[in-house]
Amino acid sequence: MTDILLASDADWLVDDVEAALGGAHVIHRVRAGVDVVPAIQQVDPALVLLDLQIGNMGGVAACIAVKQRVTMGDLADRPVLLLLDREVDSFLAKEADADGWLVKPLDAFGTLRAVEAALSGETVTH
C-alpha cells in the first residue's frame, strides 16, 4: 500500500478521503500547513494532498514550501494535489506549482482515479 499525506483541519474532508482511498492507500494526516514538510520528511509519502483552507498556513503556502524544498534538494519530488473549494481556484494551484487539483466536494471514485493518475505521473485537473 502507498503512503499518502493529507493536510486538512476539516474532519469531514478527511473522512471523504479515507473512504475513497483507505483500502488501497495508507493515509497520514496533519492538521496544519506548517506540519506538512516535517511530515513528508518523516513519512516519505508517495503523494501529498493539501486542503486549500487550512487554519494557520493554507494549502497554497504549504505547496509552495514543498516545491521550494524540492528545488533546494531537501525533499524528493512527489506529486502534490490541492483540494480546491471552487474550480476558479485552479489559478492558485497553478501559481503554487501544484501537480494538479480536485474540486470539493469530492466523490470517492473520482478521488481514487485522480490519485492513481497523479501517482502514475499524470496531471490531475478535476
Instruction: Name the grid cell of 25.
Output: 492507500
Find, among 42, 16, 1, the residue nearest to 104 by Cα.
Answer: 16
CATH number assigned to the domain comprising residue 44: 3.40.50.2300
pLDDT of res. 34: 94
Q: What is the domain extent for residue 101?
A: 2-125
pLDDT of res. 80: 97
CA angle 36-17-110, nearest 5°? 120
Q: Which residue is listed with cell 485537473?
A: 125
Helix, strand and coil content of the chain, in percent to the nearest 5, comes to: 45, 20, 35
pLDDT of res. 122: 85
Average pLDDT, the chain: 93
* Total domain count, the chain: 1
Confidence of residue 81 (pLDDT cuts 50, 70, 90): very high
CA angle 17-18-24, nearest 5°? 105
Q: What is the pLDDT of residues 41-76, one digit of tens each?
A: 999 999 999 999 887 788 999 999 999 999 999 999
* The residue type at 125: T
Whether the Cβ atoms of residue 59 and residue 82 lie closer than 8 Å to each other: yes
